[in-house]
Structure 1
Amino acid sequence: MITVDRLTKSYGDYTAVDDVSFVCQPGRVTGFLGPNGAGKTTTMRVMVGLTLPTSGQVTIGGVRYHDIPNPGRHVGVLLDASAQHAGRTGREILTIGAKTMGLPMSRVDEMLKLVGLDDTEAKRRLRNYSLGMKQRLGIAHALLGDPSVLILDEPANGLDPAGIRWMRGLLKSYADRGGTVLLSSHLLHEVEQIADEMILIGRGRIVARGDRATLLAQASGGPSALVVSLDNAALSQGLSARGFTVEPAGAGLRVGATPEDVGRAALEAGIVLTDLRAGGAGLEDLFLELTSGAAREAVPGVRTSAPLNGGLPA
């Protein structure tokens, strides 16, 4: 478990993280989302002792990171995939990590296989790695000690679509085994497919949190559905008779009702639907609206207002 308690980090007059509190639970993937410069990386650096907080604290399993003996066996960290000696090979980097943590050398081969780096790639020096290969090696290093907690900053950066799908499956499997995952990103679409809970941060402050359903309810401002049928006129008449608001939308209709309500009305009227989906504001809309004040670009239409290693609780 990761507990962030009233964390604040200031640099002179600039406050990078402002009174932030949240908890990451075992067995769940927590998405930590925000635009560039919102305070995500600063928060994660404080978590692992690389930056001292101005006030507040972060504990992992009830203990501050620098008080954890052999922390790599309990907390896997990936903050910068390039933060390794560029002249070392991938295998050498993992070997040094394994020796530091007191792990058997067989663990190096296990991790290389897990992240899909073959023997030729493992012998290549880091300076010759693509960004995607560096990310895979960084994930391998984070998992090397079989930790109960993972803290990952933008792990999908540089991965191709197949690599992103692989990473999602890997992290989901890790959480299903009881691990705690904190996943930072500015790519909402990727995170919402894996995260059990999402925390949105803007200008150093938490602006929203919850699971996907909770955030969608907050974004929509009421039920809404988009529907296309073989007889839109008849469907519109039937929905209006039920008291729902109906207005044209492209090739179909926007209805002030849930998709279930629309589907039920169409079934009773014997009208064939060719498309039906939720039509309220999506998570991306909510994300852009709530963090627009921290975005560098103006956004049109958006207001600017196997059990895991033990030793520590996950």
Structure 2
Amino acid sequence: MIEVENLTKRYGGHAAVDDVSFVVRPGQVTGFLGPNGAGKSTCMRMMTGLTPPTSGTATVLGRPYAALPNPGRHVGVLLDAGAQHSGRTGREVLSLGATLMGLDRSRVEEMLALVGLTAKEADRRVGGYSLGMRQRLGIAHALLGDPQVLILDEPANGLDPAGIRWMRSLLRGYADDGGTVLLSSHLLHEIEVVADELVVIGRGRIVAAGSKAELMRAAGTVVRTTDDAAFAGHLRGAGLSVEQTAGGLLVDTDAETVGKIAATHAVVLTELRAADAGSLEEMFLQLTASDAREGWRHEHRR
């Protein structure tokens, strides 16, 4: 389990992370979402003892990361795949990690096979690796010590579609076996497919958190009628927020409430349902709009 309580990091007058609290539970993949620069990486660096917090605490398995004995045996971390030693081979990187953790060298071969790096690729210097190969090597290193917890920052960067599917399957299986996974990304779609819980950060603060089902309910209701414009007036008259979308009206309440208003005004409904993932994406964009760069918006919608 990972527990973050009132975590704050200030650089001068700027709060990169501002009073952040959330829990990542065993047996689940928790997606940590937000635009580039929203504070995800700073949070994860504080969780893993690389950046001291200004205030607040972060514990992994009940202790600060730095207090864990032989931390690689308990927590697998991938924060920057590009930071690996370019002059070593992939096998040497893992062998060094195995030695430091007190592991048998056979574990290195197991991890190379698990992440799909061939013997030839493993004997190449990391400086000649593609970003996708570096990501696979980084995931292998994170899993090397058979940890209970994984903390991964943007692990899908550089992976092709087949690699992303492989990564999802790997992390899903890890969580299903009782592991704890915190997975950060600025791409909603890559996370929502595998995540059980979502934590959304914008401008250093948590702007939404909960299960996908909870956040989708919070995203509202989609309704279509024989006269959307007239029904939108009735909904606004009831004090509800209404947005016209290509798929109908998006209303910030539950379907039952919308149905009752329709019945009161004898409105014929042609569709009534909870907002889907597309509307959830719109909600995320709105929640993080002040922190989102245009490039993130475009990537987010791919």
User: What RMSD, in angstroms, separates the aligned Cα atoms of the two structures?
Assistant: 2.9
Q: What is the 5 A alignment of 1:108-119?
A: 108-119=108-119
CA contact (8 A) 1:48 1:65 kept: yes
CA contact (8 A) 2:216 2:274 kept: no
**What residue is the counterpart of 1:127 in the other structure?**
127
Cα deviation for residue 255 of structure 1 reads 9.6
Cα deviation for residue 297 of structure 1 reads 2.7
Inter-CA distance 19–70: structure 2 relative to 1 (3 Å threshold): same
Cα deviation for residue 83 of structure 1 reads 1.1
Name stretches of at least 5 consecutive residues in structure 1 with no aligned partner: 227-234, 238-243, 263-272, 301-314
TM-score normalised by structure 2 residue count: 0.82
Q: What is the 5 A alignment of 1:98-177?
A: 98-177=98-177
Distance 1:57 1:133 in 2: 34
Distance 1:179 1:189 in 2: 22
Name stretches of at least 5 consecutive residues in structure 2 with no aligned partner: 228-233, 236-243, 260-269, 298-302
Q: 219, 222, 225: which one pairs with 1:224?
A: 222
CA contact (8 A) 2:222 2:248 kept: no
Distance 1:40 1:51 in 2: 13
| Count of aligned pairs | 270
Residue 210 of structure 2 aligns with an amino acid whose one-letter code is: G
Cα deviation for residue 61 of structure 1 reads 1.1
Inter-CA distance 225–118: structure 2 relative to 1 (3 Å threshold): farther
Inter-CA distance 118–290: structure 2 relative to 1 (3 Å threshold): same
Cα deviation for residue 74 of structure 1 reads 0.1
Distance 1:292 1:76 in 2: 32
Residue 296 of structure 1 aligns with an amino acid whose one-letter code is: R
**What residue is the counterpart of 1:89 in the other structure?**
89
Distance 1:42 1:184 in 2: 11
Cα deviation for residue 254 of structure 1 reads 6.5
Q: Secondary structure at the match of 2:184?
A: strand
Q: Which runs of 4+ in 1 moved over 4 A?
A: 252-258, 275-281
Q: Secondary structure at the match of 1:69?
A: coil
**What residue is the counterpart of 2:209 in the other structure?**
209
CA contact (8 A) 1:236 1:253 kept: no
CA contact (8 A) 1:254 1:279 kept: no
Residue 179 of structure 1 aligns with an amino acid whose one-letter code is: G
Inter-CA distance 63–299: structure 2 relative to 1 (3 Å threshold): closer
Q: Secondary structure at the match of 1:151?
A: strand
CA contact (8 A) 1:78 1:142 kept: yes
CA contact (8 A) 1:200 1:208 kept: yes
Q: Secondary structure at the match of 1:224?
A: strand
Q: Name which one, 1 or 2, has greater alpha-carbon Rg.
A: 1
Distance 1:255 1:54 in 2: 40
**What residue is the counterpart of 1:286 in the other structure?**
283
Distance 1:299 1:154 in 2: 14
Cα deviation for residue 40 of structure 1 reads 0.3
Inter-CA distance 249–61: structure 2 relative to 1 (3 Å threshold): closer
Cα deviation for residue 95 of structure 1 reads 0.3
